[in-house]
């Protein structure tokens, strides 16, 4: 690390997603985070003021900041995932802001796929609703490492501790049935600003951190799998130049674990092993590469390796599973229903192959969290457990162990659309 990278450039990146509808005060909360961290500029504020007046509102509508598309502003709804950015001296934040209604489950899943943390808003007046259950379930399905339950609009329930404690107990009741690791609870008022960036003076009974403090201090160092080295090969780098006549580097991103020069790696699917000769990133030669770095790796031996293969380390007992029959939790994204025994293109890491849906085991009712084995018709926003058969061996880890080697998407071969996201069980 050069001198320039220490000091004020020494910031971490945290991605979080927010789920909820306008009524929960989600836009107000995002607006406040952006405003208080000075990420909203004067000309943006002016533009929002102009648009608010045009749409007939009296107050400045911060939702207009995230609802960027014409259709969204006209209909007053969020259609798509919007990405927002802000930074504090400690961290840079990427917000994937997603709409909370059930018909937008696919957007929530999309936003959740890369998130370190999820903020789930609960209106203090209404308590835990079906949608809270849905949001918590999706956060657990996508294995978001940290969940922050913000009990919002505390000002409208006289800042009563009992209200907060009741909601907390109700959410704990849900989360105990799900596989969630780290759940935090913060009583806030996004409108007034209580416990968002500054501590509320009206809730002395609450001795936990503010939302901003949590976002700045959540321990994200172990969000990625740090133990199992995996690097799907993306691109083979062969300069064939005078200077580098024999250079053969495997370009790819370390998705988990770490790799040292001299380590023995195994190549999947061939199973051959070799030692790491060099790890390069531009003109820097590295001794070690670790997730999520993008590097180029040279091996000692001349092995036939191409895109879609994977370099793994076999030192720690955990090796990817190699197989053609997989169990997957699938979230369906398309108006065209899933075709029973239908064939789709499957993308996982850098490999692509065809697959067939062999069977649907059950459909998840994401509002009641019950499994339904009778209605196996799979349409938009349905979450189902299926068995897939692939045309060639897939090497994967369970999604719970490794989000990168355990995730996949299905593509409709006639429309080219991404029709489903899958998490390998």
319-358 binders of other proteins (CB under 8 A): 333, 345, 347-348, 350
9 lies in the site for other proteins, by CB under 8 A: yes
CB of 343 to other proteins, least distance (A): 14
CB of 315 to other proteins, least distance (A): 16
114 lies in the site for other proteins, by CB under 8 A: yes
Report how far residue 376's alpha carbon sits from residue 187's, in angstroms, rounded to the nearest whole number. Answer: 40
Site for other proteins in 165-194 (CB under 8 A): none
Site for other proteins in 357-396 (CB under 8 A): none
Site for other proteins in 21-40 (CB under 8 A): 38
Report how far residue 265's alpha carbon sits from residue 34's, in angstroms, rounded to the nearest whole number. Answer: 45
CB of 282 to other proteins, least distance (A): 4
Instruction: For the chain, report the end-to-end CA distance as a whole number of angstroms.
Output: 38
105 lies in the site for other proteins, by CB under 8 A: no
Angle subtended at Cα 79 by Cα 132 and Cα 403, rounded to the nearest 5 degrees: 60
247 lies in the site for other proteins, by CB under 8 A: yes
Interface mask (CB under 8 A) for other proteins, residues 281-310, using x and -?
Answer: xxx------xxxxx-x----------x---
Stretch that binds other proteins, among 5-13, 123-131, 192-200, 204-212 (CB under 8 A): 5-13
Phi, psi for residue 108 in degrees, rounded to 5: -65, -45
Site for other proteins in 77-96 (CB under 8 A): 79-85, 87, 91-92, 94
106 lies in the site for other proteins, by CB under 8 A: yes
Q: Which of these, 332, 340, 339, lies nearest to 366 by C-alpha position?
A: 332
DSSP summary character for residue 155: G
205 lies in the site for other proteins, by CB under 8 A: no
110 lies in the site for other proteins, by CB under 8 A: yes
DSSP-H helix ranges across 218-311: none
CB of 178 to other proteins, least distance (A): 20
Tokens 């697959």 -> residue: 355
**Measuring CA to CA, how many Å separate 361 from each of 75, 121, 339?**
38, 32, 14
CA dihedral for 368, 371, 374, 377, sign (positive or negative): positive
Using the CB atoms, write b or e for 31-60: b if 16+ within 10 Å: bbbbbbbebbeeeeeeebeebbeeeeeeee
Rule CB under 8 A: choose which of 17, 18, 66, 98 binds other proteins: 66
* Residue 231 token pair: 């690097």
Nearer to other proteins, 29 or 65 (CB): 65
Count of residues touching other proteins (by CB under 8 A)? 82
CB of 310 to other proteins, least distance (A): 14
Q: How many residues does the chain have?
A: 425
Angle subtended at Cα 75 by Cα 22 and Cα 127, rounded to the nearest 5 degrees: 20
Report how far residue 169's alpha carbon sits from residue 88's, in angstroms, rounded to the nearest whole number. Answer: 32
Spacing of C-alpha 82 from chain mean position: 14
425 lies in the site for other proteins, by CB under 8 A: no
Stretch that binds other proteins, among 159-167, 191-199, 280-288, 313-321 (CB under 8 A): 280-288
Site for other proteins in 211-240 (CB under 8 A): 221, 226, 234-235, 237-240
Instruction: Provide CB contacts within 8 A for 23, sequence distance 6+.
Output: 123
CB of 250 to other proteins, least distance (A): 11
Stretch that binds other proteins, among 42-50, 199-207, 208-216, 264-272 (CB under 8 A): 42-50
Rule CB under 8 A: choose which of 58, 70, 162, 207 binds other proteins: 70
């Amino acid at each position: 690390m050069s001198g320039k990278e220490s000091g004020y450039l020494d910031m971490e990146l945290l991605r979080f997603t927010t789920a909820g509808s306008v009524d929960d005060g989600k836009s107000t909360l995002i607006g406040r985070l952006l405003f208080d961290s000075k990420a909203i500029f004067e000309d943006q504020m002016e533009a929002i003021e102009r648009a608010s007046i045009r749409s007939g509102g009296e107050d400045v509508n911060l939702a207009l900041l995230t609802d960027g598309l014409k259709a969204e502003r006209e209909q007053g709804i969020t259609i798509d995932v919007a990405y927002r950015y802000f930074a504090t001296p400690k961290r840079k934040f990427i917000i994937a802001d997603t709409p909370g209604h059930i018909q937008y489950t696919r957007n929530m899943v999309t936003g959740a796929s890369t998130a370190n943390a999820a903020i789930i808003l609960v209106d203090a007046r209404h308590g835990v609703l079906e949608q809270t259950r849905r949001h918590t379930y999706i956060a657990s399905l996508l294995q978001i490492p940290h969940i922050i339950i913000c009990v919002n609009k505390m000002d409208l329930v006289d800042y009563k501790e009992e209200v907060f404690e009741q909601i907390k107990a109700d959410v704990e009741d849900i989360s105990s049935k799900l596989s969630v690791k780290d759940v935090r609870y913060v009583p806030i008022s996004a409108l007034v600003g209580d416990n968002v960036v500054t501590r509320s003076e009206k809730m002395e009974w609450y001795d936990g951190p503010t939302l901003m403090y949590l976002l700045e201090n959540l321990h994200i160092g172990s969000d990625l799998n740090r133990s199992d080295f995996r690097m799907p090969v993306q691109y083979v780098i062969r300069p064939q130049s005078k200077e580098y006549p024999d250079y053969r580097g495997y370009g790819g991103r370390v998705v988990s674990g770490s790799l040292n020069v001299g380590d023995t790696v195994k190549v999947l699917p061939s199973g051959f092993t070799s030692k790491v000769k060099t790890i390069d990133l531009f003109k820097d030669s590295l001794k070690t590469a670790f997730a999520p770095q993008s590097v180029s790796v040279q091996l000692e031996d001349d092995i036939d390796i191409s895109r879609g293969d994977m370099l793994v380390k076999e030192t720690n007992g955990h090796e990817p599973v190699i197989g053609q029959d997989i169990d997957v939790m699938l979230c369906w994204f398309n108006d065209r229903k899933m075709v029973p025994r239908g064939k789709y293109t499957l993308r996982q890491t850098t490999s692509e192959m065809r697959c067939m849906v062999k069977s649907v085991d059950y459909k998840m009712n994401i509002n009641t969290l019950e499994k339904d084995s009778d209605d196996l018709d799979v349409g938009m926003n349905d979450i189902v457990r299926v068995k897939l058969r692939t045309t060639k061996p897939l090497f994967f880890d369970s999604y719970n162990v490794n989000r990168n080697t355990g995730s996949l998407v299905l593509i409709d071969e006639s429309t080219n659309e991404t029709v489903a996201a899958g998490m390998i069980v």
